Amino acid sequence: MLVSQLKSKIHRAKVTRGDVAYEGSIEIPQDLVEAAGLWPGEKVLVASITTGNRFETYVLVGPPKTGEIIVNGGAAHLIKAGERVVIMSFALDDQPITPRRIVCNELNEIIG
């Protein structure tokens, strides 16, 4: 039996801006994508720690070391600049997996 399990988690990232006109996705800097074990185009669940709003989208890889977390498309109405979020991806497996987790500070630098 396959079980859906947490694969990757970026905890307490800060959204730096939103772009309603863009077609969709969440842009995450390459260094955070790699540290969390995410893939370009991978489906993610984004949950606001600030408001409780959440949505699903896909990962768009941005330039490394910018600290820019950009919510694109209609989701920019749900989660706005300045909100803290958790970005999670899940995988199906028949064995327990150990998720990769990172924690960010106010500048979206990895602190844990």
DSSP string over 30-88: HHHHHHHT--TT-EEEEEETTT--EEEEEEEEE-TTS---EEEGGGGGTS-TT-EEEEE
Q: Which two tokens stand for residue 107?
A: 């500048």
**Confidence class for position 24, pLDDT limits 50, 70, 90:** confident
Q: Which of 4, 8, 58, 89 is catalytic?
A: 58
Is 58 an active-site residue?
Answer: yes
pLDDT for residue 80 is more than 90: yes
What is the predicted pLDDT for the residue at 55? 97
pTM: 0.96
Q: What mean pLDDT do residues 5-22 have?
A: 97
Strands of 25-29's sheet, edge to edge? Answer: 17-19, 70-72, 25-29, 54-62, 43-48, 84-93, 3-14, 100-103
Q: Which of 8, 25, 48, 89 is catalytic?
A: 25
What is the predicted pLDDT for the residue at 108? 98
Q: Any idea where the domains of the chain sit in the sequence?
A: 3-103
State the Cα torsion 89-90-95-100 to the nearest 10°.
10
Is 8 an active-site residue?
Answer: no
More confident site: 23 or 96: 96
Q: Using one digit for the tens of pLDDT, what is the confidence trace for 61-78?
A: 999 999 999 999 999 999
Max intra-chain CA distance, the chain = 41
Q: Would you tell me which CATH number, out of the four given (2.40.50.140, 2.130.10.10, 2.60.40.420, 2.40.40.20), belongs to the domain 3-103? A: 2.40.40.20
What is the predicted pLDDT for the residue at 23? 82
What residue type is 9 in one-letter code? K
